[in-house]
Amino acid sequence: MKKYIKIILIFIVFITISSCKDEYYDVNIPSDATSEGEVSLAELMPTTALYVGKLPYYTESDDFGYYAQHIASKNGGAGEENTDQHYESSVKNTWEIFYLHVLPQTQMMIEKATAANAIHYRGMAKMMQAIGMGYVLDAYGDMPYSESDGTNFTPVFDSQESVYNAMMALLNDAVADMSAADTSGQTPGGDDIFYQGDMSKWIKAAHTLMARNAIHLTKAGATTAANNALTHLNMGFADNADNLQLVFNSRVKNPWHTSVVLAENTSNNYTQPSNQIIEAMNGISFPFNTVTMDPRLPIYFDNGGAATYKGIDNGEGQEADDNAYFNPAYVTFDMSLPIITYAEAQFIRAEAEFLANGGTATSTGTTAAGYQAYQDGIAASMDATGVAAADKAAYLTDTSVDVGMGALALKNIMREKFVANWLNPESYNDERRYDFSTNAFVDLAQPAFVNPDNGGQWVRRASYPATEQERNPTNWAAAEQAITVPVWWDL
């Protein structure tokens, strides 16, 4: 990893977009650092993939997980004023990782691959850039993009809609590159830490990501969004083996493990599960008939052998009866961080079929394909989580879960997606799309000691990092919105 650390220092010098003054680049370059011209595509690939993989499941979810109520803060109560109580968050790490690392590195890859006619590397770079764009768009709305040539340090913020279209075009271009024959002699392999150079999996992942992006647009037209998502899903993931995920090891450890599990063991401050997700799994929000709990509950969480599980009620902070913690046997140093999975794809399909069939947040009934996707999503999540076959079968046949095609409601789909996507910021996107409705998200409520400045409204976006206000004040002022103002696809 030593040589990659040196390369990253060069990337910071050649940063593409960050809105900074010239003196920002006054850094010392190691004498043995690799110059931009000497960096190969094979060397660029793993460091770029690492940053892309960390964007959703840690840097963004570490903040949005509070808004979505996957996690809760130990520190709460009157006067705390934290993200868990819906005070603003800039999700600063998302912004910095994208603009300091993902965008300049993918752009460098695109340029190098184009010069070498290495079209598979170029397709992978375009796709990774699009992945990063998606997380920035979902967090902030408008963002710098069109003036991102590395020479303008006060770029305008392009509209979210225009960057969304550019992101989808990048994904389509990526599919075209990865579908064509590559005769360059530069073939991705072990440097591709996602798929080891398997273009068929990259192509399926691109279509699955386009399905996710399509379903974001339900407010602009539910049927159109659903049909577009279904078109891409038909070319997307086929099973869990296709999952796009970042794999960790003893040298590069899972950040949830290092920041939460290890913190628990050293008496440092750490995050705990929200009671919202606990009650979605223990039979309180969705009473079971034959099983006693979702079998993923004791896999995700540890309660020290108590008879029941109790998470933190968002905003209140830890109380005496809160006993649920991240399970160190599950959140291990080498636990993978998924970017998008087959299980999520099946829940997108279930929702799309439901909407295309005329479904609403208060209606019931879906198509046979939609009901099968709902069941397949649960099964895929349980398989990926390591649930025993007998426990999976018992859960899937419980009549509170196996409600039947005619009785399936949006709340059933969203509950299962919420559980399967634990720690995934996509859950926050889902809640925004349905206006945090309890018809879609049972028992969802604003936290205790909620920020009074929000006027009773939910948080709909991140604020831009303070550094952007300092370095690019005019364009920042034109783009900045209150955190209760919806982003473009949420209008």
Whether 2 shows a pLDDT value over 50: the answer reads: no
- Of the chain, the end-to-end C-alpha distance in Å amounts to 44
303-327 pLDDT tens trace: 999 999 999 999 999 999 999 999 9
- pLDDT, tens digit, 9 for 90 and up, residues 163-186: 999 999 999 999 999 999 999 999
Question: Which residues touch 462 (CB under 8 Å, ≥6 apart)?
Answer: 63, 64, 88, 89, 90, 91, 94, 139, 140, 483
Q: Please, what is the average pLDDT of the chain? A: 92
Q: Which helix (H) or strand (E) holds 72?
A: strand 71-73
* The pLDDT value given to residue 34: 56
**Cα–Cα distance, 253 to 57 (Å, whole number):** 14
Average pLDDT score over residue span 199-213? 98
Quick one: pLDDT at residue 17? 33
Q: How far is CA 125 from the centre of its chain?
A: 19
Q: What are phi and psi of 302, to 5 degrees?
A: -115, 130
Helix, strand, or coil (residue 338) = strand
Residue 12 has pLDDT above 70, yes or no: no
pLDDT, one tens digit per residue, over 409-433 is 999 999 999 999 999 999 999 999 9
Secondary structure of residue 293 in the 3-state scheme: coil
pLDDT of residue 190: 96
- Using CA atoms, how far apart are residues 173 and 166, in angstroms rounded to an integer? 10
> Above pLDDT 90, what percent of the chain?
86
Report the predicted TM-score, pTM, of the whole model to 2 decimal places. Answer: 0.92
Give the amino acid at 379: A
pLDDT of residue 24: 33
Nearest to 76 by CA among 321, 312, 428: 312
CATH assignment, 2-197+460-490: 1.25.40.390
Region 28-50: mean pLDDT is 77
Please, which residues have CB within 8 angstroms of residue 354's CB and are 6 or more apart in sequence? 226, 366, 367, 370, 408, 410, 413
For residue 393, give the H/E element and its range: helix 389-397
Rounded CA separation 202/196 (Å): 10
Is pLDDT of 390 > 70? yes
Task: Using the predicted structure, report yes or no on whether residue 210 has a pLDDT greater than 80.
Answer: yes
Q: What is the pLDDT of residue 9?
A: 33
Indicate the DSSP class of residue 486.
P
Average pLDDT over residues 264-287: 90
Q: Check residue 21 and give its pLDDT.
A: 36
Tally of CB atoms within 10 A around 392:
18
Strands 301-302 and 325-326: antiparallel
- What band does 127 get if pLDDT is binned at 50, 70 and 90? very high
> Which pLDDT tens digit goes with each residue over 340-360?
999 999 999 999 999 999 999
Q: Where are the domains of the chain?
A: 2-197+460-490, 257-326
pLDDT tier at 152, thresholds 50, 70, 90: confident
DSSP 247-258: ---SSS--HHII
- How large is the angle between the packed helices 199-215 and 342-356, nearest 10 degrees? 40
pLDDT class of 267 with cuts at 50, 70, 90: low
What is the reported pLDDT for 168?
Answer: 98
